[in-house]
Amino acid sequence: MPTTPHSPAPRPAAAERVPIPARLAHAPVSAGLVVPYITLAHRDRTRPVWGSIDPHRLGEVLHHKRCQVCGERLYDTLVLMIRPSDYLRGVSVEPGLHPECAWYSRRACVMLAGHVDRYNPAGNTPLNRCGDPLCRCRYWAPAEDTVPGREGKPAEAWYEAWIRLDDYDVFTVPADESGPAATGIALRGVPFLRLRKVRDPAPDSGDSQPMDLLAALIAARKLWETIDATDDSEANP
Ligand SMILES: [Zn+2]
Ligand SMILES: [Zn+2]
């Protein structure tokens, strides 16, 4: 993996407890929150490193079309959590989610729920070793604990886009002025079955945010719906 996404995965928050959907009933839980499949964790997965991604699990779910929260196969329709910068680069660096796992993440993740306006600063979650001799934590490298260029940065807007599994393609964008090389799910030319905003960008982020074409796309879709509705009412008075 050339890059790892910052984790919009659940992590402990002051927020009220979010009900766990039936699909996640058997998932490991820590501090009342489901530990997502791609979150870095000790062999005892109820001991996660919140905010860190397991790069092996990330590659596995991405290439095998699995859900980043429960780790199971995705359905015919899946949800992508994307930012305007992902849309501009044409790749969703976050793996897909089941609709119900996306529902849970929107509420349980402090970033997606809008409870925080900054990503975790570097080194916020120290990599503690555990006493389990079979645990891989002794191989954890500090690099797996950070997302270069994101630490402490203001939050971007997040959107939820629904796509068909038939349109699912893994794609790598090369490094350019907007960021390092990134592998994820291709967005260019892929029809969005649904598109809606999940959270606004941090209020103080101003000019640091990329152009929000997703907001323009939503506005255009609303406009066309209005025109279609007008046409229908004229055709069927
Ligand atoms: Zn799932
Ligand atoms: Zn361990």
Q: What is the 3-state secondary structure (H, E, C) of the chain?
A: CCCCCCCCCCCCCCCCCCCCCHHHCCCCEECCEECCCCEEECCCCCCEEEEEECHHHHHHHHHCCECCCCCCECCCEEEEEECHHHHHHCEECCCCECHHHHHHHHHHCCCCCCCCCECCCCCCCCCCCCCCCCCHHHHCCHHHHCCCCCCCCECCCEEEEEEEHHHCCEEEECCECCECCEEEEECCCCCCCEEEEEECCCCCCHHHCCCCHHHHHHHHHHHHHHHHHHHHHHHCC
* pLDDT higher than threshold 80 for residue 144: no
* pLDDT higher than threshold 50 for residue 62: yes
> What's the whole-number mean pLDDT along residues 230-237?
62
Q: pLDDT value at position 148?
A: 53
User: What does the pLDDT look like over 3-54, one tens digit per residue?
Assistant: 444 555 455 554 468 999 999 999 999 999 999 999 999 999 999 998 889 9
Tell me how far the alpha carbon of residue 69 lies from the centroid of ligand 1, in angstroms. Answer: 5
More confident call, 182 vs 142: 182
Q: pLDDT value at position 230?
A: 77
Q: pLDDT value at position 6?
A: 52
Is the separation of the CB atoms in 230 and 207 below 8 Å?
no
> What's the whole-number mean pLDDT along residues 125-139?
86
* pLDDT higher than threshold 60 for residue 124: no
Cα 51 from Cα 143, distance rounded (Å): 13
> What's the whole-number mean pLDDT along residues 59-78?
98
Tell me how far the alpha carbon of residue 45 lies from the centroid of ligand 2, in angstroms. Answer: 9
More confident call, 103 vs 128: 103
Ligand with the closest atom to the CA of 26: 1
Report the mean per-residue pLDDT for the chain: 86
User: What does the pLDDT look like over 181-222, one tens digit per residue?
Assistant: 999 999 999 999 999 999 999 987 766 777 899 999 999 988
Residue type at 89 in one-letter notation: R
Q: pLDDT value at position 4?
A: 43
Is the separation of the CB atoms in 40 and 142 below 8 Å?
no
CA end-to-end span of the chain, whole Å? 57
Q: Which residues surround ligand 2, an ion (CB under 5 A)?
A: 42, 130, 135, 137
Could you tell me what percent of the chain has a pLDDT over 70?
A: 83
Q: Please state the domain extents for the chain.
A: 22-235
Q: pLDDT value at position 205?
A: 76
Ligand with the closest atom to the CA of 102: 1
Ligand with the closest atom to the CA of 42: 2
The sign one gets for the Cα dihedral 178, 183, 189, 191 is negative
Ligand with the closest atom to the CA of 136: 2
Q: pLDDT value at position 120?
A: 73
